Structure formats: C-alpha cells, structure tokens
Chains A and B, each alone.
Chain A
Amino acid sequence: MSLKKSIIAVSVAAGLAAALTACGGATPAATPSGSSSTSQLSGTVTVFAAASLKSTFIQLAKDFEAKNPGTKVTLSFAGSSDLVTQISQGAPADVFASADTKNMTKLADAKLLDGTATNFATNVLEIAVPPSNPASITSFADLAKSGVKVVMCASQVPCGAATDTVEKASGVTLTPVSEESSVTDVLGKVTSGEADAGLVYVTDVKGAGDKVKGIPFPESDKAVNTYPIGTVSSSQNKELAAAFIAAVTSEAGKKVLGDAGFGAP
C-alpha cells in the first residue's frame, strides 16, 4: 500500500515539476545584461560543470539565485568527458561548462549543443609541492631531476594533454611515478606527501591553500586550457540557461573566476 502511495506521490511531483518548467519556459526571459532585481525568471536550471570549476560555480550559483529570486541552480560536477557521456545518455542538463574545448566539440558532434559555446575562462598549469618543498623544486626542468617523485595527469585527460604540450615545447621529458586520471588525484598525492611535486592547475593550487606551495613556471603559457560554456540542446529551459551563462560571462562572474586563479578567456 505504501509503495503505491509513494509512486503516486512521485508522479504528482514530477507532473508539478514539468508544469513549473513549462511555465518558466513560456515566460519571456530577462535581457542578458540585466542585473535588474525585478526579474521574470523562475524555475530550476541544471548545470553540468567540470570538476575544476567546483568552488567558483558554487559561488556563481549563489549569486545567481540571489539576483533572481524564484530560480534554483542545480550543480553537478565531474570529469568533463564523464559529463558528456551522461548528457548523451539522456541525463537532464541545461548548461554544460567544460574544462577544455575538445569535450565541448564532442558534445557539438553529438548534436547536443545549442548554437555555439562561449569561452569564459582559461587555466594554466602550475607545479604544486608540499609546503616544505623536500625536493627543492624551482623550475619545470627540476622536475626531471633523478629521484624526484613527480605525479601528473594521464594524457587522456585535459591537464595531461596540457602537460604533454609543455614537455614538448620545453624539451624536458618527465618520468612520473604515476599518471592519474584526474587532477584532483594528482593534488591529493602532493597534499598527502607521497609525491615531491605534481602538475596541476593554478586554480587547484589556489584552492588548496596552505596545504601546498605553488611554483609557477614560464613554460606554462605554452599550454593554455580554454573553458567553454554552452546550452544543451535538450534543455527544457533554454532562457534560464542563457541567463545563467550570461551571469558567468558577466563582469561579476569574471571577478569570481579571476579570484580563484582563472585567466581571462
């Protein structure tokens, strides 16, 4: 009996949600540059964003909800390619923010991108070492010294591809002790003290605070990761999605991203 009741309850909720979003879709959207407090936007917008955007997008979502009462932002963070897989298998998303252009292209090739994407940030690599810098790293070339335990991303992920580009451009070949599948794992190996150094993003170093020491290096400019953001074509709430994207690319949004260490697009 109670199972039946729960099924009915869920169906009703789903119906309501559908009705609400439909309503939200029918309302004319506010102008993108508007910071007006009397917004006609309402409803929920689901944002799939790359893992490295976690802290910034949580902030941006809060700001968006504050500026547009009656709206709700649902965030989902994961590796960019995981997100593309989920969206192409039917996961409900309105906005996709990728850590590199390759994955956005994948989405476009799958005919799931509405229009074109907008580049909103860039990220470069930085060397992260434990606060005591046990291996005395000062430059990218130091990483190739024998005995140094350096950890990097695997080539198949965006930060790994960036590292490969830097290696080629600088002529320094690294022999890492581990090639992780996500930049979070690389950072983890450094914060736990297992690795002498790791190649992560500038934003990761900033986000880790006291736990690591960051060592920037000039060759990082050779591999700049561009972050695009776009509306998913299967979105039920394209106006709200566009409004969120506008908030991200606005001056206020740029400030939040810049504070975290992202570069200008």
Chain B
Amino acid sequence: MKSAAGYHGIPRWLYVIAALGGLLVVLPLVAMLAKVNWAQFVPLITSDSSMAALGLSLRTSAASTVLCIVLGVPLALVLARGEFPGQRLLRSFVLLPLVLPPVVGGIALLYTFGRQGLLGKSLEVAGIQIAFSTTAVVLAQTFVALPFLVVSLEGALRSAGSRYEAVAATLGARPTTVLRRVTLPLVLPGLASGAVLSFARSLGEFGATLTFAGSLEGVTRTLPLEIYLQRETDADAAVALSLVLVAVAVAVVGLSYGRRRSTTPSAVQA
C-alpha cells in the first residue's frame, strides 16, 4: 500500500508550467557552469582580489543582516500589531526599496549621507565620513534588504495572532517580558527565514553599492562589484566568481530550509 500521501489536488498540466518556470531559473545557471574554465578555477577564485572581495561581501552582508534584524523586528512588530495613524503609509514606504531600482536607492543614499547630503554635512562636521567607506556598503545593503525581513516577519506575526501575548499579560508579564519570552520565540522561524533572505539580498547587492560606496579593493569592492570589473578583461574570472556567489547563496538558503523542517511539532500523545 502506498504511503498515505493524501489528495493534493494539483492538476497534471500545472506540473508542465511549473517545470518551465524551474527551467527558466536553472538553465542560465547550467549555461554558466558550462562556461567555467575549470582548469583555472581554483587560482581564479583564490587570487588576492577575489579573496578580498569574497571576505568583504561576507562581512558586510553579515553586518547588514544584523542591522536588518535590529531595525526590522521593531518595525515589523509595529506594522503587524500596532494601531496608529499613517500605518498603511509607513508600510508602503518600508516596501519601497523592493521596487526601487537599486541604483536609484544608491543615489538617494548619496543625497542623504553624502558630503553634500541631508545628514552628510552634519556628519562630516562631527568627523564621521560615510562615503567611500565599508559603512557605506553596509548602509546600502541594509537599505535594499530591510524590506525582505520586515515582510517575512510581519506575515509570521499576523498569522500568529496576539492571543498568546494576551494570555501572558493576564499572567502578569510586562510588555517587554511578553516580547522576550512569548512573541519572539514564537516567530523565530519567520524571523530566521527573513534574515536569510536579507543576507542573500545583501550578498547580491550591486547598484546601490556602486553609486553610493564606490569600488575599492578590500574596502568597498564586494563580490558583485569585483565580477562587474573582471568581466571587462577576464571573462573566466568573472564566471568563476559568479559561480562562487551562486554557491554561497545556495548554501545559505539551503541551510535555512533544512532548519525549518526540524521545527514541525512532534506527534500528539493521548
């Protein structure tokens, strides 16, 4: 007897279209794999500039993911559970970086934090220089990656509802205790997948970084920028580095999905 998989109700023709969708994503990757110069692969990706770019990408993406969590959790909570005028408007603005071309985002950041920018002038007086620094890279990545975390977490918060929080309050827990011991532990899976998405987006960020932070090896030239530069002269290096970027992204996403499956509840015993 077959395992009790149950009726899933997916018509057969849907599989065909799904396969096409899958192919659209997978085939270009395969084409790229085919063009890799395998003989030169290791020297290409372990060159000084490649290693510097990879290290910088990982460091800045990690930093911007942390920043996304620190800023995104309160934002998501307020959007999901709060009630205040202008809430809808705030949500639209938070989602703006999703539709804005990253280059436009970079320009906007420049107008804010650049030397002539809104805040930049005051910052420069205080001795803080953001332009051309690694900080600028982290800012650019956070700007584009924040919506991913907020959207993911807000969805999880909405579907979780606030019944447990109400119960916790009646048991005598202060709002901060409720947040710490009830709300956050319950949406940890949503938070984790949001963080993974933010990390992946930060890793691939290009347009805003280029416009806002500049491109200097070891300081601001992240892996995507290195690939952009290498393709001018060394297509082999560009493809090899692209493969590295894809591999890192796949690893990170794969890790997060593996973790999620382990949080399904165990069987109920009578």
Contact = CB atoms under 8 A, between A and B. Distances in A.
Contact of B110 (A82, A178, A180, A194): A194
A81 B231 CA distance: 8
Given A149-B132, A156-B229, A177-B132, A192 B116 contact: yes
Contacts of A178: 132, 213-216, 220
A181 B232 contact: yes
B235 interface: yes
Contact of A189 (B214, B221, B229, B234): B214
A177 B228 CA distance: 18
Contact of B229 (A82, A85, A181): A181
Classify chain B's interface size.
Answer: 20 to 34
Contacts of A81: 231-233
Contacts of B116: 192-194
B229 A154 contact: yes
A79 interface: yes
Interface string A178-190: 1111000100110
Interface of B is mostly: loop
B214 A193 contact: no
A99 B132 CA distance: 27
A179 B216 CA distance: 5
Nearest to B116: A193
B236 interface: no
B256 interface: no
Interface string A186-214: 00110011100000000000000000000
B114 interface: yes
Contacts of B110: 192, 194
A151 B214 CA distance: 9
B149 interface: no
Interface in A158-187: 176-181, 185
B134 to A, nearest CB: 12
Q: Taking each of A82, A85, A178, which has the highest tally of chain B beta carbons within 10 Å of its own beta carbon?
A: A178
A193 B233 contact: no
B137 to A, nearest CB: 11
Contacts of A194: 110, 114-116, 131-132, 214
Q: Taking each of B115, B116, B217, B225, which has the highest tally of chain A beta carbons within 10 Å of its own beta carbon?
A: B115
Interface in A55-106: 79, 81-82, 85
A151 B132 CA distance: 10
A154 B217 CA distance: 10
B101 to A, nearest CB: 15
A181 B132 contact: no
A144 interface: no
A220 B140 CA distance: 35
A157 B232 contact: yes
A197 to B, nearest CB: 13
Given A181-B232, A194-B116, 5 more contacts: A151-B214, A157-B232, A179-B215, A179-B217, A180-B215
21 contacts: A82-B231, A149-B132, A154-B215, A154-B229, A154-B232, A156-B234, A157-B232, A178-B132, A178-B214, A178-B215, A178-B216, A180-B214, A180-B215, A185-B211, A189-B214, A192-B114, A194-B110, A194-B114, A194-B115, A194-B132, A194-B214
